[in-house]
Amino acid sequence: MVSVTSTYLGIDLGTTALKCLITDHKQRVVGLAEVALPTSRPRPGWSEQKPQDWWQALGKACKMLRDRQRTAWSRIAAIGLSGQMHGAVILDGAGHVLRPAILWNDGRAGAEAALFNGKFSDIGQIAGVAAVAGFTAPKLLWLQAHEPEVFKQLAMVLVPKDFLRFRMSGDFITDPCDASGMSLLDVAQRKWSPALVEAAGIRLENLPRIDEGPRASAHLHKPAADFLGLPAGLPIAAGAGDAAASAIGIGAIHDGDGFISLGTSAQYFVTTKSFRPRPQQMIQALGHGLPDLWYQVAALLNGASPLSWLNGVLQGGTLQSLLQRTQRRYAGPGRILFLPYLNGERTPHNDPAARAAFHGLHAGTTQEDLALAVLEGVALSLADCQDVLEQGGTRVAELLVAGGGTRSAFWMQMLANVLNRRITIPAGSDVGAAFGAARLARLAVTGEAIVAVCTKPKALLHLEPDQKLSKAYVDRLGDFRALYGALKGIQNV
């Protein structure tokens, strides 16, 4: 039963920021707060964060909402969680963090991924895809080899959002989506695989219990309640990894529903009613954040982050100003190519050593030329993924897009042209994962049907592809692929 006075808290632990939002009984966002998160890169290809920073950021975000939206805050009936996937949070037997968390975009465990995969002839059929450096299992093998003193103390392995749940409740719990991203799950059965767990050098007791996303999996205990300014005992939904939570937030819950998540990383996501792995093409098949659903996803390590990187390097003003200047000068595909692989790449290359590159620079190259090349490079990498999905029989006629990248209508129109698909921008698309987490919180306590809650939001914008430009980008995609092939041997040195 839905109370007209109840509100729901959705928490999304992203890579660059932690977001919290409050929704009311009509699923309107009535409060939003965001706190930036620092990332450490102690060596090339490494990416780490301190879990304590996440907890402090959650406290700050909750205080912002508490101060701004006192009435809505006082009516919170449940909490939902979402977050960046694949990260490794290592705890000892007392629940203490043993080292900084190794993130999804960390490439140090490439050799260990190959070693792990070599132990199984059917790894993709069990785990949904072969392990890559950013997944959790190879990181555990890396720890065993390079930080044995830390590994010996390991008592529990959590992904990022589930660390927040532990701090909130004292319970070790995850969901099928985040569990799928660890390379430790029998994804079809939605249960830990004893064989994969053993191959990673740990035991089943070192992993959290798995609950379905909409289930009330835990309750807020008093120490955390006092820290966050909430009443003790609030239910906490099991939640979902950020990709599935975004899908829930924009209503991609039916077989064949497709969307693109364009945040720090990017995903081309298609909901499926069955487990459909295509490991040979680096298409992941993972558990959805809702019961009896799975999804296929082409995962890119570089989404909107290359654009932020370029703006920081140029130091020429705001990102919005750079995009506006680029849009004014746009007259079709640019003369410069950009490989956006700042953090290596997964689909379709499975190449953690891949690196970014500009090609075609000349004496007259401008900041706007570089920005256009970056926008096109990310769009072309999504076209690469779309082709791989289609080769496996998955074709989507219309794509919803969520994430921070949707703030640029210019970029969204470019996506429509490059992908030759109708692009729809739904309301709340820039906070999709947090909104999805709030929906899971609601489902955990109201007993409503999933289809009644997880509807598609109102469309803010529909963008049709320009067929002339779409044809031009087909030719550009060939050049883009050729550039990666030409540089691969150099980049991997």
* CA–CA separation, 223 and 228 (whole Å): 9
DSSP 365-392: --HHHHHHHHHHHHHHHHHHHHHHHHHT
DSSP 145-191: HH-HHHHHH--EEE-HHHHHHHHHHS--EE-HHHHHTTT-EETTTTE
Contact (Cβ atoms closer than 8 angstroms) between residue 22 and residue 33: no
State yes or no: is 466 an active-site residue: no
Please give the structure tokens belonging to residue 346.
């997964």
Comparing CA positions, the residue from 374, 237, 259, 262 lying closest to residue 319 is 374
188 Rama class: left (phi>0) / alpha (psi -120 to 50) / beta: alpha
Catalytic residue among 162, 242, 257, 369: 242
272: amino acid identity, one letter: T
Integer CA distances (angstroms), 407 to 169, 263, 317, 446, in order: 35, 11, 17, 33
Name every residue whose Cβ is closer than 8 Å to that of residue 250 and which is 6 or more positions away in sequence: 259, 400, 402, 426, 429, 432, 436, 456, 457
* CA–CA separation, 479 and 384 (whole Å): 12
* CA–CA separation, 223 and 203 (whole Å): 30
Name the residues annotated as catalytic.
242
